[in-house]
Structure 1
Amino acid sequence: MRGLWGGLRGHLIVIGVLVGCAAGTAPAGAQPFPSRPITLVVPFAAGGPTDTLARILSERIAAELHTTVVVENVAGASGSIAGARVARATPDGTTITIGHWGTHVLNGAIFKLPYDVIADFEPVATIATGTQLIVGRKSLEANSLKEMIAWLKANPGKATAGTAGAGTGAHVAGVFFKAKTGTDFQFVPYRGAGPAMIDLVAGQIDIMFDQASNSLPQYKNGAIKAFAVTSPTRLASAPDIPTVDEAGLPGLYISYWHGIWAPKNTPKDIVTRLNAAIAAVLADPSVKQRFGELGQEIPPPDQQSPAALAAFQKAETEKWWPIVKAADIKPE
C-alpha cells in the first residue's frame, strides 16, 4: 500500500469496511449517516505522531460505522492549511479532522488564520493525552539533560532543533526551553514531526522536543537518545527516562492532547454518532495497549464527550494564548 500511494502528495490511504447490504436496504430517500465515505484529515505529513494515532483509529472507526474512512494528510503551515480545509468543508460529518494542542490552541495565538480555531469547528471527542520527550541524535555529545544543556551553552547558536513548523508544540516547547536554560539554537521547520524524526535518526539535526508517540519507537530501537519526559511522572512504557524534575529542569511540563473535530454546524445527531463510534474504539483493549505503547493516555469516558473537549480546549486557550503572546512567538 505504501508503494502504491507513496508518490501522491496527499498520502491517501483508504481503510475501512464497505457499507453492508443493510444500508443498501434503507427506505428510498433516506440518508442514514454515514451514507458516504468519511475523510479524516491529518494536518501533518504521513508517519508522524498525529498520523500514527489517526491510522490506529481509522480502521476501527470504519468498522464501527460500517463505512470507509480515508486518511488524508494535508501538511503545511503548522497544520493551518488542513484547518482551513476542514473549516470550509460541508458540515455533514463526512469530513473530520484530528488535531491537538498545537493546531487547535497555539495556531490561533500565532497565525492570522482564515478561520477561528474554536468557533469554526464542532468538537467531537478527546482521544488521548501524551507528553513530550526531549531527545537527541544518537551521536550527540551528551548522555543526560544536564550534559545536553552544557553542550548547547558551549556551542551557542550552532545546534539545530527539528520542529513540525513555526508555532507547533515542538517550537513552543523549544522557545520555553531556551528561556529557562539560557541556551540558544536554531529551529529547523519540517512539514511534520515524522520527517523531522527521519533527519534526527540520520544525524542531520541535533535535538527535538517531540511527542512521545513519535520518539518512543526510535528510542526503544536505539536510534536516538532520550534525555527527559516533560511531565511530573515517568512514562509507564519507558520508565527508564527521567522526568524533567529528576533531570534537573523542574517544572517544564508540556502535555500534548489530541481530539477530533468536525466543521461548524455539523448536525448534533451526526456528532453524537461519531462520538459514540470513537468512544467504542477507545474502549477496545487492543487500542488502549497500542496507545499506551506510544506514551498516550486515553481519557476516562466522561472526558471523551464533545462538551468535555470544548471545555478543555477553551481552558487551554485561556492558559496558553497569554503565554505565547508574552513570549512574542511568531511564524518563522
Structure 2
Amino acid sequence: MTKRRIFMAGAMSGLLLPSIHAQTGTNTRIRNLRVLCGFPPGGATDAVSRRVSDKLQGSYADVSLVDNRPGAAGRIAIDELKRSKPDGSTMLLTPAAVITLFPHIYEGINYKTDDFTPTSTACQVQFGFGVGPGVPSSVTDINSYLRWAKANSGAASYGSPATGSLPHILGVLLANQSRVALNHIPYKGSAPGMSDLLGGQVPAFSGLLGDWLPHIKTGKARLLATSGKERSALTPNVPTFAELGFKDLVMSEWYGFFLPKGATKETANAAADAIAKAVRQKDVIDAFAQLGLEASASTPTELGIRMKEEFRLWETTVQKLGIKIEI
C-alpha cells in the first residue's frame, strides 16, 4: 500500500516559556498551556482545540495556545505528548479513534491507552450516511439505497474522509450487515468527498454529521441514516441505523483531552474541571453545534473507562474485519 506522507507543522514549543506550577491547596495554576492537535488547522479537531483553549486562558492557564502537529494519523502529536512533562502544561485534544481504533488498524503504531492520562471529553459526534444527485430521487432511506446498490453493483460506491476513519468503518459494517457489496472511495478529508458527492462523481458518502448539515438544509444531499443510539437533536427527522433494522450499527465518536502519562490525579482533576466549565458555556455549545458536535464533559475516571472499553471493542471488531493499513 502507498505510504502516507508524514509532515510536521507549527512547532511552537520553542516559543513557549517554561511552565510554572504554583499550587496552593487544591488549586493548580499553569503559566503557559500548550494544546496539541494532531490535525491541520481548519478541521473539526482544530476547531474544538481552539474553542476550548481560548476558554482555558485566564482560568486554567495564563496563556493557552494550540500547537498543530498534523500527520501520521495523529501519531506526531502523540509522540510530542509522550515527550512532554506531566505537569499540566501540555495537553492533547484528539478524536477517540486515534487512541481506540488506529492502534488496531495502522501498522507501526506503538502506543496504548496506558500512555495517556485522561482528563475530560469536550464533545461527541454521530456519523451520517447519505446520497447525492448520483442516486435516483426514489432513494429516501437506507434500505431503498441498499436495494439500489444491490441492483447497480458497478455504481455502488461510497466515499469517506479517509481510509481507516470511523466513517469508513461505518460503511464496512453496513456492507457486512446488509450483505450488499459497497466499494469504498477514500478522500483526503470530508471537503473533497462532499464536493464529489454534490457533483455526482460519488453516489454516497459516510462522514461526520456536521459534514451533512449545510447540504441537507439546501436539499442538495439526502441524509439517510445516523449512527447514534438515538436520533441526533441536530437532525431529528433522520432515523438511526438501529431504527431501520441495523441493531448493531451504533457508533459515535468523542473528542477528549489527555495529559502525558504520569500526571497526578490532582493535575488531571484540575484540567478536567476547567475543561468542563469551558464546554458548558453557551457560545462554545453553539459553536460546536454548527459543526455537528454536541458538547459533553466527563471526569478523568469516566473518560479512562470509556477509552479502555472502546479500545477492547475495536480490537475485536478490527480482527473480524481484517483491516490493516500501512502509515
| TM-score normalised by structure 2 residue count | 0.80
Give the structure 2 partner of residue 87 of structure 1: 82
Name the amino acid aligned to 1:149: L
**Structure 2, unaligned runs of 5 or more:** 1-6, 23-27
Question: In 2, are the aligned partners of 1:45 and 1:75 still within 8 Å (CA)?
Answer: yes
Match of 1:213 among 195, 210, 214: 210
Question: In 1, are the aligned partners of 2:33 and 2:64 still within 8 Å (CA)?
Answer: yes
Give the structure 1 partner of residue 126 of structure 2: 131
Give the structure 2 partner of residue 54 of structure 1: 49
Q: Is 2:155 aligned against 1:161?
A: no
CA distance in structure 1 between the aligned counterparts of 2:44 and 2:131, rounded to whole angstroms:
17
Match of 1:243 among 211, 227, 240: 240
Shift of 1:326: 1.5
CA distance in structure 1 between the aligned counterparts of 2:60 and 2:106, rounded to whole angstroms:
35
Q: Is 2:101 aligned against 1:98?
A: no
Q: Is 2:324 aligned against 1:330?
A: yes
CA distance in structure 2 between the aligned counterparts of 1:106 and 1:119, rounded to whole angstroms:
15
161 and 117 in structure 1: CA distance in 2 versus 1, 3 angstrom threshold: farther
**Structure 1, unaligned runs of 5 or more:** 1-7, 27-31
Give the structure 2 partner of residue 311 of structure 1: 305
Question: In 2, are the aligned partners of 1:78 and 1:165 still within 8 Å (CA)?
Answer: no
Shift of 1:228: 0.7
Please give the root-mean-square deviation of Cα atoms over the aligned residues, in Å. 3.3
Deviations 1:89-139 (A, max 9, x none): 443434322223311101121223443231211111122232211123344
Name the amino acid aligned to 1:313: M
CA distance in structure 2 between the aligned counterparts of 1:296 and 1:241, rounded to whole angstroms:
16
Shift of 1:33: 4.1
Give the structure 1 partner of residue 36 of structure 2: 40
Give the structure 1 partner of residue 278 of structure 2: 281
Q: How does 1:139-218 map to 2 (within 5 A)?
A: 139-141=134-136, 142-156=139-153, 158-218=155-215
Name the amino acid aligned to 2:35: T
Instruction: Indicate the SS of the match to 1:35.
Output: strand
Shift of 1:80: 3.2
114 and 318 in structure 1: CA distance in 2 versus 1, 3 angstrom threshold: closer
CA distance in structure 2 between the aligned counterparts of 1:187 and 1:193, rounded to whole angstroms:
14
Match of 1:320 among 314, 320, 327: 314
88 and 200 in structure 1: CA distance in 2 versus 1, 3 angstrom threshold: farther
Name the amino acid aligned to 1:122: T
CA distance in structure 2 between the aligned counterparts of 1:190 and 1:90, rounded to whole angstroms:
36
Question: In 1, are the aligned partners of 2:8 and 2:70 still within 8 Å (CA)?
Answer: no
191 and 55 in structure 1: CA distance in 2 versus 1, 3 angstrom threshold: farther
CA distance in structure 2 between the aligned counterparts of 1:127 and 1:317, rounded to whole angstroms:
19
Give the structure 1 partner of residue 4 of structure 2: none
Name the amino acid aligned to 2:241: V
Question: In 2, are the aligned partners of 1:145 and 1:228 still within 8 Å (CA)?
Answer: yes
Instruction: Indicate the SS of the match to 1:244.
Output: coil
Once the two structures are overlaid, the 10-residue window that deviates more, 57-66 or 121-130, is 57-66
Shift of 1:87: 2.8
297 and 173 in structure 1: CA distance in 2 versus 1, 3 angstrom threshold: same
CA distance in structure 2 between the aligned counterparts of 1:90 and 1:223, rounded to whole angstroms:
49
Shift of 1:146: 2.1
Name the amino acid aligned to 1:176: L
| TM-score normalised by structure 1 residue count | 0.79
CA distance in structure 2 between the aligned counterparts of 1:286 and 1:38, rounded to whole angstroms:
22
CA distance in structure 2 between the aligned counterparts of 1:201 and 1:55, rounded to whole angstroms:
29
Deviations 1:70-103 (A, max 9, x none): 3344444433343333333443434322223311
CA distance in structure 2 between the aligned counterparts of 1:135 and 1:77, rounded to whole angstroms:
28
Deviations 1:214-273 (A, max 9, x none): 332333344432111113422222212122244454442112122111221234443333
CA distance in structure 1 between the aligned counterparts of 2:129 and 2:309, rounded to whole angstroms:
25
12 and 326 in structure 1: CA distance in 2 versus 1, 3 angstrom threshold: same
Question: In 1, are the aligned partners of 2:171 and 2:182 still within 8 Å (CA)?
Answer: no
